Amino acid sequence: MSFSIVLQQNTSEDNRLDKTLTDLYTLEGVLKDGTSIMTPSVLVEASTSSLAVCNYATISAFGRRYFITNISAYRGNLSQIDMKVDVLSSWATEIRNCQGIVYKQENLWNLYLDDGTFKCYQNPLMGSFQFPNGFNSLNYILAVAGNTGA
Partner 1 sequence: MADFPLTFVKCVQGRVNCDNDPPVPVLLCYVTWEGTITASGNTITLPVTLLDGLREGYSQISTACSMAMTTTNPEYASWSTGTVAAGNYNFYKVDSSTGRLVYFRYDTSNICRGYVPTSVTGSNLMYNPIVLYVNDDTDQILPVSSQATYEALCSSKSTDYTPTWVNGVPTFIAPNAYYKSSYDEKTISASTPIAWDKTIIEPVIEPVIETDPFAPGGTTGDDESESEGGDGDFENAEVTVDPPALPSLSAITSGFIAAYMPSFSQLQALGDYLWSDLFSLDTFKKLFSDPMQAILGLSLVPVSPSTNEGNVVIGNVNTGISMPRVMQQFVTVDCGSVTLPEYWGGYLDYSPYTKVEIYLPYIGVRPLDTDEVMGRTLHVVYHVDVLSGACVCFIQCDNTIRYHYVGQCGASIPITANDWTRVVNGAVSIATALGVGVATLGAGTAAAGGVTAATMAGAGALVGGVASQVLASKPRVEHSGSLAGMGGLLGIQFPYIMIQRPRQAVPSGQNVFTGYPSFIKRTLSTVTGYTQVTAAHLTGLSCTDEEKKEIQAYLEAGVIL
- Residues 62, 41: contact at Cβ < 8 Å? no
Interaction of residue 41 with partner 1, rule CB under 8 A: no
Q: How far apart are CA 118 and CA 148, in angstroms?
A: 69
CB 125 → partner 1: shortest distance, Å?
Answer: 4
- Residues 61, 4: contact at Cβ < 8 Å? yes
Interaction of residue 34 with partner 1, rule CB under 8 A: no
Q: How far apart are CA 5 and CA 26, in angstroms?
A: 6
Residues 76-135 touching partner 1, rule: CB under 8 A, are: 85, 87-88, 90-91, 94-135
Q: Which is nearer to partner 1, 12 or 50 (CB)?
A: 12
Q: How far apart are CA 44 and CA 90, in angstroms?
A: 23
Q: Which is nearer to partner 1, 21 or 44 (CB)?
A: 21
* Binding region for partner 1 (CB under 8 A): 13, 15-17, 38, 85, 87-88, 90-91, 94-150
